[in-house]
Structure 1
């Protein structure tokens, strides 16, 4: 029996599944394995989807299931894509009526299916979309758009806004990165969206060395309309992808500037501190935005004449801030943080991983977990999470081994810390210099634990995971030492060049005390204990003297059964 929902058109035998793992052949009929079953259901600001030109700053109800028909390397949602059987344990059956009621109760303007692709839940999404429209709400989704023409036309009467996730322009890039034979059906479907007056924006990862792919996309879109917003996702290597494919923010900005020759609205994501998230017209900023987590943005301010740009609906006057990990793709990072603990304590069984996600993906635990990474909890509270996860996995012995290792290093630092005579002022950025991490973030807890003073705590405005500040603010802070996040990072040379270009004059720059954390060493993973020692050495080199290479080798061999090597930005690697 052939499945005709996406262009793979899988031939599925009785009782078996197709490529995505989400459909089966039952009695000669293709059906969903998990109809009307969802993993997440919570309100988000539409820019975290992300959609920038459709009812900006309004609230929509995000729904997500599991699985995908693509197998893209470096996917930000890989924990939901590669682990269908594990993740299926945490799906919840939610009827359409309940989703619509939730959307109305939360004062959402509509619902959106994102994080994974609605292609894998086509029948449920179509039924839901029809009822949503009957209730005068909007319907949207994020999709790779690899629908068959007939299945897409089943949805078009109900769709209002779509984020089309392209992977490139050529068949070659789709074959290489997604194991997809051709890009042609996707560009055919883009024209169908346009002809049906459905608002859509196009997102595409910028992979280093693949600049021509993005330029060809821009040329193709401009032949339809220069007004189509193009979102450039600076590629963040996750999963099994090598670091060398990640472009710097500086390199990505250069590409964005080239793309503006073809399209009027080009935006750069995953690049904290960039100005290429702003909407401009004739050199004037119309809508000013800042980085708001992976693949997310947030409006800071806008001019009264924003209606002069191509935009659907009015900008909401109220601002909605998602709580904790809830909102856009941040929840997938939380799932990976749990996976990082499980990996370090030797848990690899997919069924066990699924059961633990089932136990931890609830509002109560996620709120507490977020407090560890971005709230009032301490470094020692993280160890309680490790102990809890170890208990759930029935692997308490390995969990305690990890806990004892971390405690031993922390006690060493606490003892040495008593020798500090003069406190050093530290500023922690992510990406470019003017994006300051929230003072309550985990990275700043590391700074304070070794005896440094976190200047980030003097910045009152908060974002996710931080905020843009001005040159004047940074100069006034005048840090002795600057750290650049190990997650969404920036090479030291680019950082220094930015400082010089923007008249940033701080002591750390003059004294050459700007340091980039090794990947994964300051957030999201038990490897933060290595980052703690790294930070200690850099802030107080006269009293701390950890042999970082030796410590890293020991840690990786002991808890990852491999030699120390930074492969990519996955927390669990």
Structure 2
């Protein structure tokens, strides 16, 4: 049987699947493998999808199935698409009526299919959308736009908004992603959506040295309308992608300016501290809607500044009402953060020598069940929590005895550092994400590590939290007067970048004057199994007169521990 959803036109024989692994043939008829089943099924603000010009702040039930008809290098959702069977056991069954009930229970405006390609679950999408539209609710989707045009035309009558995520503006890029079509078909589908008068936003991945593709896309979209919002997704190398493909934040900021030659509303994602997530009047540059960074491919309203019409008379093309969304989504529910979490857990299992797909699947399914997503948020916030996380994974994988030496090393170093710093003066430390106004949340691991390393961590004194995400003001930063600044996260390459931001803003603080600003080396990550090295690095920085850990030696020792665990895992399987 031939599947006609996309241009792969997979010939699917009895009991087999196509390229996306979501369609199968049974008794000579094509079926969805996981009809009415979802991995993600929770409420979130629309900006996490993202949509920026449609019911701002509105709460929607996010729906994610599994699978995709592309295989893009560095995909943030690769855990949902590369091997769907790995996490299929965690799928939640919910027919259209049950989805309708959940929308009402959570006081949502409607649903949005996102995180993976919705068209691979074509019948689930259509049936659910029909049910919700009958009840006057809103339906949207984020798609790669690579479905066949007749399929798109069947879906559009039941959609209110669409975000088409483009991979670039060349057939070479689409071939690299294993696309069933070239860029022309995606552009044709964008025109179909625009001509149907459905709300349209376009996202595009920006890889280093591909500025010309993005500016050409902006020019092409302007022929349809200069009012189409364009989201530039600065490439972040997830899933082992080439680090050289990540463009510098300054290059991405310049690209936004170039694209505004053609389009009025251009936004920059995956760049903490950028002002280009907010909406400014194209005529007089007045700030109209303020947004801030909110994880991979996500944004969030600060709820401080919102106006749909500028004082100069220019209106912003936003559909629907503004909703002040003060709701708080757990960190690993909403937007692409769930897929990032699954990648983190899978990576930890691999570092512990656990590669068996049945074991990995069992652990991931257990993590996705119950309240484990909320528990992991707590685990990842402190050293003690991370120790409990490793212990829990060992229990889930039935290998708890093998991780004891690693846990012993963690515990010994923690106790040693605590003893060292107890009676020392604690310098005033500020943890920032790439920009002086973007503080690390107080419940993040880097903040806990800085405190355990003997710092008086200022992040505990400010109101910047995930439920109150607006950046610091200049006055708030100046009041902190940090002696040491630790900066980390996407969008920062070295200390000079951070100091450059400080000088542009005219900031004064002891850390800036003495250049006691440190970008955390990538080889000492604050999250993940090597966090103990980051703790030692912090302790060396904060108390160089007392503490001098040999990071090179401890890195070798940690590698030996991990190698021993992996070897023992192999011997156990044999």
With normalisation by structure 1, the TM-score equals 0.94
Taking structure 1 as reference, are residues 292 and 148 closer, same or farther at Cα in structure 2, changes over 3 Å only?
same
Report the alpha carbon displacement of residue 463 of structure 1 after superposing the two structures with TM: 2.4
Quick check: 2:326–2:467 contact (8 Å CA) kept in 1?
A: no
Tell me the distance in 2 between the aligned counterparts of 1:442 and 1:488: 19
SS in structure 1 at match of 2:43: strand
Q: Among 390, 400, 403, which residue is 1:386 paired with?
A: 390
Where in structure 2 are the equivalents of 1:518-537 lying within 5 Å? 518-519=521-522, 521-537=524-540
Give the aligned partner of residue 99 of structure 2: 99
After superposition, the Cα gap between the structure-2 partners of 1:24 and 1:48, relative to the gap in structure 1 and judged at 3 Å, is same
SS in 1 for 2:218: helix
Aligned: 1:137 with 2:137: yes
1:148-159 equivalence runs, <5 A: 148-159=148-159
Match of 1:434 among 427, 434, 437: 437
- Note if contact 1:53-1:312 (Cα within 8 Å) is conserved in structure 2: yes
* Alignment equivalent of 1:295, drawn from 294, 297, 302: 297
Structure 2 residue corresponding to 1:480, chosen from 474, 480, 483:
483
Give 1:552 shift: 2.5
How much has 1:109 moved relative to structure 2? 0.7
Residue 253 of structure 2 aligns to a residue in which SS?
A: helix
SS in 2 for 1:62: strand
Q: CA deviation at 1:487?
A: 4.7
**SS of match in other structure, 1:351:** helix
Structure 2 counterpart of 1:471: 474
Q: What is the rounded CA distance, in whole Å, between the counterparts of 1:65 and 1:507 in structure 2?
A: 50
Tell me if the contact between 2:174 and 2:182 (Cα under 8 Å) persists in the aligned partners. yes
Q: For residues 500-538 of structure 1, what are the alpha-carbon distances to aligned partners after superposition, in whole Å with 9 as ceiling and x for unaligned?
A: 111011111222211111237444411211111111111
- Tell me which moved more, 301-310 or 342-351: 301-310
Q: Give the secondary structure class of the aligned counterpart of 2:371.
A: helix
Task: Provide the rounded CA distance (Å) in 2 between the counterparts of 1:88 and 1:172.
Answer: 32
Q: Distance in 1 between matches of 2:293 and 2:493?
A: 14
Superposition deviation, residue 304 in structure 1? 5.8
Q: Deviations over 1:418-456 (max 9, x none)?
A: 3x5311111111122211111222110001111111101
> Aligned partners of 1:363, 1:324: CA distance in 2, in Å?
15
With 223-232 and 382-391 compared, the bigger mean Cα shift is at 382-391
Distance in 1, matches of 2:523 and 2:155, equals 41
- Which range moved further: 359-368 or 257-266? 359-368
1:108-159 per-residue CA deviation (whole Å, 9 max, x = no partner) reads 1110111111122111111111111011101111110111111111101001
Name the counterpart of 1:280.
280
SS in 1 for 2:251: helix
The reply to whether residue 510 of structure 1 matches residue 513 of structure 2 is yes
Task: Please say if 1:265 is aligned against 2:265.
Answer: yes
Mapped partners of 1:520, 1:547: distance in 2: 14
1:423 aligned residue: 426
Unaligned residue ranges in structure 1 (runs of 5+): 563-573
Alignment of 1:154-553 (within 5 A): 154-178=154-178, 182-281=182-281, 282-300=284-302, 301-303=305-307, 305=309, 308-374=315-381, 378-418=382-422, 420-463=423-466, 467-487=470-490, 489-519=492-522, 521-553=524-556
Per mean C-alpha deviation after superposition, the further-off stretch among 273-282 and 177-186 is 177-186
Q: Do the aligned partners of 2:175 and 2:182 also contact (CA within 8 Å) in 1? A: yes
Separation of aligned partners in 2, 1:468 and 1:437: 10
Residue equivalent to 1:571: none
> Which range moves more in the overlay, 461-470 or 183-192?
461-470
Change (3 A) 1:64 1:561: farther
Q: Do 2:90 and 2:369's aligned partners in 1 also have CA atoms closer than 8 Å?
A: no
Whole-Å separation in 2 of the counterparts to 1:37 and 1:470: 44
> So what's the TM-score if we normalise by structure 2?
0.93
Q: 1:12-91 to 2 correspondence within 5 Å?
A: 12-91=12-91
Deviation at 1:344, TM superposition (A): 2.4
- State the 4+ residue runs in structure 1 displaced beyond 6 angstroms: none
Whether the 8 Å contact between 2:328 and 2:467 is mirrored in structure 1 is: no
Which is further off, 301-310 or 224-233? 301-310
Query: Matches of 2:557 and 2:348 in 1, distance apart?
Result: 17
Say if 1:430 and 1:490, in contact at 8 Å, map to a contact too.
no
- 1:181 and 1:491 map into 2 onto residues whose CA distance is 40
Instruction: For structure 2, list consecutive stretches of 5 or more residues without a partner in the other structure.
Output: 566-574
CA contact (8 A) 1:428 1:436 kept: yes
Looking at structure 2, the residues matched to 62 and 387 of structure 1 have their Cα atoms a distance apart, in angstroms, of 32
The answer to whether the 8 A contact 1:346-1:398 is kept is no
Change in Cα spacing, 1:488 to 1:407, as seen in structure 2 (3 Å) is farther
SS state at 2:201 partner: strand
Residue 568 of structure 1 corresponds to none
Partners in 2 of 1:125 and 1:556 — Cα distance?
A: 46
List per-residue Cα deviations over 1:472-518 (Å, max 9, x = no partner): 22122111111112455443211111111110111112222111112
Cα pair 2:231 2:269 within 8 Å, conserved: yes
Equivalent-residue separation in structure 1 for 2:526 and 2:37 (angstroms): 32
